[in-house]
Amino acid sequence: MTMARRSLKDRLIESEELFRDTGVYESELTVKESDPVTFEVLFTRLLQTLTNAREVALSISASPSTREQGEIIFGLFTAEGDAVCLSTGLMIHVHTMSRAIKWMINNDYETKMGFREGDYFFNNDSFIGGGHPSDQMLMTPFFVDGELEGWIGGLTHVTETGAVEPGAMGSSFTSRFAEGLILPCMRIAADDELFYDFDVLVDRGVRSSISWLADNRAKLTGNLIIREKVKELLGEVGLDMYRKVCREYIEDTRRATHEKVRRSLFPGRYREVAWRGVTIKNLERLMHSPCELVVSREGRLSLSFEGLPSAQRQPFQATLPLFEGMLFNGLIQNIFYDLRYNDGTFLAIDLHVPYGSACNPDNIQLPTTLWGPAYGGMQACAQAVSRAYFAKGYREEVHASGPLTSGNLAGGKDQYGRHFGSQCFEFASSGMYATSFMDGLDTAFSDFNAEGDMGDAEIWEQQMPQVWLAREIRKDGGGFGKFRGGNGIHSLYMIPEGIEMEIGAFGSPPIFSTAGLMGGYPAAALRVWIGRGTDVQAQIEAGTPLPNTEGFDRSVPEFVDQVSAEWSCVLGQNVPTSSLEPYSLFSVVSGDGGGYGDPLLRAPIDIIRDVENGLSGVRVAADVYGVVVTKDARGNVGYDKEATDSLRAQHRRERLHRGVPAAEYKRIQRERVMAGDIPAPARAMYRDVMEISPIWADEFRTFWNLPEGFEVAE
């Protein structure tokens, strides 16, 4: 007897309807309840399989961002595309591969393309799934007795996509067509063999194909290892058991998510705002990322981003799959780190992201390269969660904003005459946020990949031949506070002789993009320094010490004073790529963490440590922290307790003197708002947001007590 096989599309619709109608993914956890040991052992075996495959794939890949930075993740999915289990790694993509599998199912790939074991589907279209064209996934279905039983997917971040600017993440893009090769769910392998013509396509379509092609092989190998192991396990436990536990793992996580929220977070409404913006020709505007987090007493967690600016022809925005990915990445690291990572968490959370906004564009021809307020939304959400932990007493979980990771791009012809194009992922070791109990770690953190590493400069130099004259801990980069944010990396690159190089960078507009928490200052603004026509060649020939540091507490970095050149500085670090002559210098920073608490409450011993380590100076100690640092004849650093007490008292008196009562402040500011006396970048944002979000517009008018229907002047 045979039954007509149900299509995947029908199964997906049924699964989604069931969840919508019942609010649960699987009604009974019978395996978990009747045989908890098997339940846990099977999950551990799946997790181990995925994590082992990741390790193998890491060593196959030739791309530094995968191999050195660990920018790779694998996942196991149900036939309908729900994530059951994920390896460690790039946590942003917990849900983005689910999105792509469901997209194929919904778009009739089963009937129009057919799914067979040994097929691999490639996707880097971030409206379907993934983050930007750099985020590239490879998905393969597996079958038991002719029935598609699940999917395996691997994702890496590739550093060159054939975009208008080398290195994929250019800050000048005004259309999606600037982003390079975008391939929506294409079959690129059958019978576990990659198609030759796909390699040709990539080879001719990008500046340097090594990272893309090597990563494809790494992902295919990882997927293959996982497929065989999962089928082995499936053979042991039987198909019914396998299907049942997969559903139970997701449901179990969904329930555990509510429970974790209920036990960890104080119920209430939390609001935080992060900042980004656009700096491209003819479009300069601020963008806020307003996060409202509501924790219910029952453990429901709702997130709303009502008030996001509109999507525009600019790259500082993101697709919805990416924004979901960013948020869940943050939530998993901050709250759900001890649960199973899968789509159960996604099902447990309510998320509102207005359609047509910069984190959910209504037009797939817009660029979504650099994420802008989506990255900010994750920072804001983490601060909101920190407040909820604080109120519940879990101070060990409280922290300020993580760094905006930022870095440089380059392309051209290297010393061997080979074309290259890449972005430098040393920013995976940015400065960590300050917590409620300690300073943020220096050069040790990025929100998107907790296992990230900066990679050897020498390995980077093989891929992008800029020569590192300096790679140092940035001084006074982390936000000041009772506990300071971690400092990021400062790198000073020299363009060597005998190559052709275009170089640029990406970051933010000239703003503070990483906020502090509860009285702490934001992290320092990012910046690029570019030196053209330098005398570095003469310095090398003369054998004098080369510039190698920013120095501390300087309005202009030390290396700028040490090198005669035509210097320019771009605050915020958005610099479209352009050609630089040999011996030009290019200095970037990787982002620093936000500060925590009032700086006047910082323990003097922590300040002394920073001064001793050359990370901060005596002037900052006095002006920001009110600590009077002393040095004895032998150079030992200490502080004068009495002078410090009196300086701190003086700082407090000055605050009371210069501070204006809020009511008075508001009265004066209201006049400015009424008159439209607001600088252009913010004025453009207010006008835009008030037009697309009546809710936000009402709040704005209420706060400033403005007449009904008030509009900010053009």
Partner 1 sequence: MTMSNQNSDDAKLNSIRELIEGILPLDQLATLQREMKTGDRVQIVLAIEQDRVPWSDRILVPLQENLYVVERDDGARVVKCFCGHEFGDYRLNWKEEALVFERHPQDGIVFQPNKGADPVWQLLREFYCPNCATQLDVEPVPVGYPFVFNFLPDLEF
By CB under 8 A, the residues from 457 to 486 that bind partner 1 are: 476-477, 480, 482-483
Q: Which is nearer to partner 1, 124 or 487 (CB)?
A: 487
Decide if residue 19 touches partner 1 (CB under 8 A).
Answer: no
Contact 245, 236 (CB under 8 A): no
When binding is defined by CB under 8 A, the residue of 190, 603, 695, 713 that contacts partner 1 is 603
Q: Is 185 left (phi over 0), alpha (psi -120 to 50) or beta?
A: left
Cβ 393 to partner 1 shortest distance, Å: 3
CB of 369 to partner 1, least distance (A): 21
Q: Which is nearer to partner 1, 15 or 408 (CB)?
A: 408
Q: Is 442 in the site for partner 1 (CB under 8 A)?
A: no
Report if residue 262 touches partner 1, rule: CB under 8 A.
yes
Segment contacting partner 1 by CB under 8 A, of 211-219, 270-278, 319-327, 354-362? 270-278
Q: What is the DSSP letter of 25?
A: S
Judged by CB under 8 A, the chain residues 627 through 686 that form the site for partner 1 are 651-653, 655-656, 658-663, 665-666, 669, 672-673, 677-682, 685-686
Site for partner 1 in 352-391 (CB under 8 A): 387, 390-391
Q: Quick count: other Cβ atoms within 10 Å of Cβ 618?
A: 18
Which positions from 277 through 306 interact with partner 1, judged by CB under 8 A?
Answer: 277, 286, 288, 295-297
Distance CA 671, CA 703 (A): 13
> Read out DSSP for 289-356?
EEEEEEE-TTS-EEEE-TTPPBP-SSSS---HHHHHHHHHHHHHHHT-TTS--SHHHHHHEEEE--TT
Residue 306 and residue 292 in contact, taking contact as beta carbons nearer than 8 Å: yes
Closest to partner 1 by CB, 101 vs 291, is 291
Among 518, 546, 637, 643, binds partner 1 (CB under 8 A): 518
Q: Which is nearer to partner 1, 361 or 591 (CB)?
A: 591
461 vs 623, beta carbon nearer partner 1: 623
CB of 512 to partner 1, least distance (A): 4
> Six-digit token pair at 480?
């000041």
Closest CA to 113 of 162, 186, 184: 186
Distance from C-alpha of 200 to C-alpha of 631, rounded to nearest angstrom: 64
Helices (H), 95-238: 96-106, 109-112, 196-205, 210-237
Count CB neighbours of 88 within 10 A: 18
C-alpha distance from residue 424 to each of 157, 174, 414, 704 (Å): 12, 22, 15, 44
* Position 710 contacts partner 1 (CB under 8 A): no
**Contact pick of 599, 616, 629, 697 for partner 1 (by CB under 8 A):** 599
Q: Which CB sits closer to partner 1, 37 or 663?
A: 663
Q: Count the site residues for partner 1 by CB under 8 A.
A: 97
Least Å distance, CB 518 to partner 1, is 4
Applying CB under 8 A, does 591 fall inside the site for partner 1? no
**SS3 letters for 246-274?**
HHHHHHHHHHHHHHHHHHHCCCEEEEEEE
Q: Which range touches partner 1 (CB under 8 A), out of 123-131, 226-234, 262-270, 465-473?
A: 262-270
The CB-of-366 to partner 1 minimum distance in angstroms stands at 23
CB of 681 to partner 1, least distance (A): 5
424 binds partner 1 (CB under 8 A): no
Note whether 527 binds partner 1 by CB under 8 A.
yes
Is residue 490 part of the contact set for partner 1 (CB under 8 A)? no
In whole angstroms, how close is the CB of 358 to partner 1 at the nearest point? 17
Site for partner 1 in 539-578 (CB under 8 A): 553-557, 569, 571-572
d(C-alpha 259, C-alpha 280), whole Å: 45
End-to-end Cα spacing for the chain: 73
Per rule CB under 8 A, is residue 396 in the interface with partner 1? Answer: yes
Question: Does 336 interact with partner 1 (rule: CB under 8 A)?
Answer: no
The Cα–Cα gap between 304 and 301 comes to 10
Residue 392 interacts with partner 1 (CB under 8 A): yes or no: yes
Hunting for tokens 């179990």 — which residue is that? 252
Give the type of residue at 362: D
Closest distance between partner 1 and the C-beta of residue 312, in Å? 17
- Taking CB under 8 A as the criterion, the residue among 393, 533, 614, 694 binding partner 1 is 393
C-alpha to C-alpha distances, 628 to 589, 618, 637, 656, nearest whole angstrom: 29, 8, 11, 21
Touching partner 1, residues 83-112 (CB under 8 A) = none
Strands 500-506 and 407-413: antiparallel
Our CB check for partner 1 shows the closer of 198 and 559 to be 559
From CA 201, how far away is CA 187, in angstroms rounded? 13
Q: Which residues contact 611 (CB under 8 A, 6 or more apart)?
A: 617, 618, 621, 629, 637
